[in-house]
Amino acid sequence: MSENHEGERAARVHRTIEQVARDSYGRLLAFLAVRCRDVSAAEDALADAFQTALETWPRNGIPEKPEAWLLVAGRRKLIDGMRRSRIRGEAIPDLLAGTENAYEMAGESLLFPDERLKLMFVCAHPAIEAQARTPLMLQTVLGLDAARIASAFLVRPSAMGQRLTRAKSKIRVAGIRFEVPEAAQLPERLEFVLEAIYAAYGSGWDDITGADARRKGLAAEAVELARLLVQLMPDEPEPKGLLAMMLHCEARREARRTQSGSYVPLLEQDVTCWSKEMMGEAERLLCEASRRGRIGRFQLEAAIQSAHAQRARTGVTDWNAIALLYEGLVRLSPTVGALVGRAAVIAEAQGPAAGLSALELLPDAVVQTYQPYWALAGHLFKRLGRISEAQCAYSRAIGLSEEPALRRFLEAEISKSDERDSDTHLIGSSDAEGSVHHR
C-alpha cells in the first residue's frame, strides 16, 4: 500500500471520528452515564473508546456502525474499570444488560435509546451547585471541553475544571437519580433545566460587540440545547417558549452593533437587518406553545420579544401590549431583570415619571449593583430634565458595565444629557430593553 493511500485512509478515519463525536457524543455519553450512574467514569470510558478507534480503525477499517462500535467499546472499558475498582460493582449487571440490548438495536437501525434528557435533568439537579449546572450540561450533552466553557463563563479553566469535577463526584457519591422526574415534580425540575440554558444564553448575549467568538458560541450552544429539549419534550410549552425567545433575540444580533462595533439599542435598530427566518421560526414555536394553554415565564418572555418584533412589520411598537405582558411576567417571575424591564416599558407607555415610580419600588439592596437599573434610571432622569441625577445614575451604570461597547454608549448618553432630547425613546441597556433577564 502506498504512503499516500495510507495517509488518505487515516484522514478518512479522522473525519469519520470527528463527525461521530460532533453528532453523537452526547447520546453516547448519556447512554453510558445513565447505566453506570457515574458521569466521569462514562466520560473516561468514552474517551478511551475514541482513542482505541483512532488507533485501530486505520488498520482494520471503519466499522459499518461507528456509533455502535464506540458504544460497545465504551461499555467494555466501563466494566473493566468497575471490576478494577469494585466500588460500585452492583451497577455492572445493569450496564451489561442495557448495552447488549443497545448493541442489538444499534446493529439493526443505528438507533439506541436517547438518554440525553435524563442527563440534562441530572446536570440541572437542585442538589448540584447552581453555578455548575449549565457548564455541566454543556460539557456532557454537547461535549465542550472545560477550557472552552471556562472562557465563556469568564473563570479560570482550572477553576471550571474543579467545579465540574466536584459536580460529577456529587452525582456519583450522592447517588442522584438518572431519570426524567415524575409529573408532579416536573415543572420545578424543568425550570432548573430551562434556567440553566437561559443562563448560558445570557452569558453569550451580554457580549454585545461579538468580539469574543467563544461567548458568541455559547449563545449558539444554548440555542442548540433548547432545540434538543424541544425535540425531547414536544408536549411541554416552556421549552418552546425559551427557544422562541432566544430566536427572537438572535434574529437581532447583527443589528445590535454598528460596523465599528458601537452598541445600538433596540429602538434604534434597523429592522431590515433582523433575520426574518429566525423570527418566523420563533413565531411558529410560540404559537405551538400557546396552544397547550399553559402559560409560563418563558412563553411570556418570548411574547414580549414577539411584540417587539412586530415593529419590523408595522413600523411601530405597541407599548401597552408589552406593558401588559410584563405585568404577567412579574407576577410569575418577579426577577430584578423583569422588574426593571417592566419599568422601562411603563416609561414608554405612560411617560418617564411613571417609569421612575415603578423603578423606585425596587429595594435598594437588590439594585445596588444591577447595571440595567442605573442605566434606565439615568435615562428616565434625563427625560425628566433632572440632569444632575441623570449624570449620577449614568456614571453608576458605567461603573457597573462589563461591556466596553455599552460603556461607550452610556458615556455618549451622559454627554448628550445637557441637551434634553425627550423625543428619543432610548432605553440605555440591553437588559432594560427587555431582552434577556438572566440575572
Partner 1 sequence: MQYTLMFYLSPEEFSARTDPAKREAYWAAFMPYMKAVRDAGIFRAGAGLEPPDTATTLRLREGKRLVQDGPYADTKEQLGGLFVIEVPDLDTALDWAARYPAGPEGVVEVRPNLSASAAA
Among 312, 308, 305, CA closest to 285: 305
Cα–Cα distance between 250 and 256 in angstroms, integer? 10
* Nearer to partner 1 (CB atom), residue 176 or residue 358: 176
371/388 Cα distance (integer angstroms): 18
Burial class (CB in 10 A: 0-12, 13-18, 19+), 324: middle
Nearer to partner 1, 1 or 184 (CB): 184
Cβ proximity of 304 and 322 under 8 Å: yes
Give which of 52, 140, 37, 141 is closest to 95, Cα–Cα.
Answer: 37
Please identify, using beta-carbon distances, which residue of 14 and 166 lies nearer to partner 1: 166
Residues 6+ away with beta carbon under 8 Å from 147: 157, 160
- 84: contact with partner 1 by CB under 8 A: no
Residue 1 contacts partner 1 per CB under 8 A? no
* Single residue of 17, 53, 144, 176 touching partner 1 by CB under 8 A: 176
Task: Among 4, 60, 86, 235, indicate the residue that binds partner 1 (CB under 8 A).
Answer: 86
Sole binder of partner 1 in the list 11, 47, 110, 127 (CB under 8 A): 127
Binding mask 19-38 for partner 1 (x = CB under 8 A): ------------------x-
Query: Which stretches of 224-377 are assigned E, i.e. beta strand?
Result: none
For the chain, helix (H) and strand (E) counts, in that order, are 21, 0
Identity of the residue numbered 198:
Y
Closest distance of CB 127 from partner 1, Å: 6
CB of 87 to partner 1, least distance (A): 5
Rank residues 177 and 276 by Cβ distance to partner 1 and give the closer one: 177
In this chain, which stretch among 41-49, 172-180, 306-314, 430-438 interacts with partner 1, using CB under 8 A?
172-180
Q: Name the minimum Å distance from CB 23 to partner 1.
A: 31
Q: Determine which residue in the list 177, 284, 294, 439 makes contact with partner 1, applying CB under 8 A.
A: 177
Least gap, CB of 176 to partner 1 (angstroms): 5
Q: How far is the CB of 174 from partner 1 (least distance, A)?
A: 5
**263 phi/psi in degrees, rounded to 5:** -80, 135
Q: Residue 5 interacts with partner 1 (CB under 8 A)?
A: no
Query: Could you tell me where the DSSP H helices lie in 143-263?
Result: 146-152, 157-174, 186-205, 213-232, 237-251
Residue 182, CB-side half-sphere exposure with 13 Å CA sphere? 1
Q: Considering only 86-94, 245-253, 259-267, 381-389, which stretch makes contact with partner 1 by CB under 8 A?
A: 86-94
The reply to whether 173 sits near partner 1 by the rule CB under 8 A is: yes
Write the interaction track for partner 1 spanning residues 129-168; mark x where CB under 8 A is met and - where it is not: ----------------------------------------
Distance of CA 388 to the CA centre of its chain: 39
183 contacts partner 1 (rule: CB under 8 A)? no
How many angstroms separate the CA atoms of 162 and 132, rounded? 10
CA distances for 184 relative to 181, 188, 194, angstroms: 8, 9, 17
Binding status of residue 174 toward partner 1 by CB under 8 A: yes
- Name which position in 7, 61, 175, 280 contacts partner 1 (CB under 8 A): 175
3-class secondary structure, 257: strand
Work out whether 399 is an interface residue with partner 1 (CB under 8 A).
no
Q: How far is CA 397 from CA 150, 246, 391, 410, in A?
A: 26, 25, 10, 8
Q: Which stretch binds partner 1 (CB under 8 A): 170-178, 257-265, 270-278, 370-378?
A: 170-178
The footprint of partner 1 on residues 220-239 (CB under 8 A) is: none
Cβ neighbours of 191 (radius 10 Å): 18
Near partner 1 by CB under 8 A: residue from 47, 87, 110, 154: 87
- Interface segment toward partner 1; rule CB under 8 A; list 48-56, 173-181, 205-213, 408-416: 173-181
Backbone phi, psi, residue 65, to 5°: -120, 85
Nearer to partner 1, 22 or 177 (CB): 177
> Site residues (CB under 8 A) for partner 1?
37, 86-87, 89, 127, 173-177, 179, 181
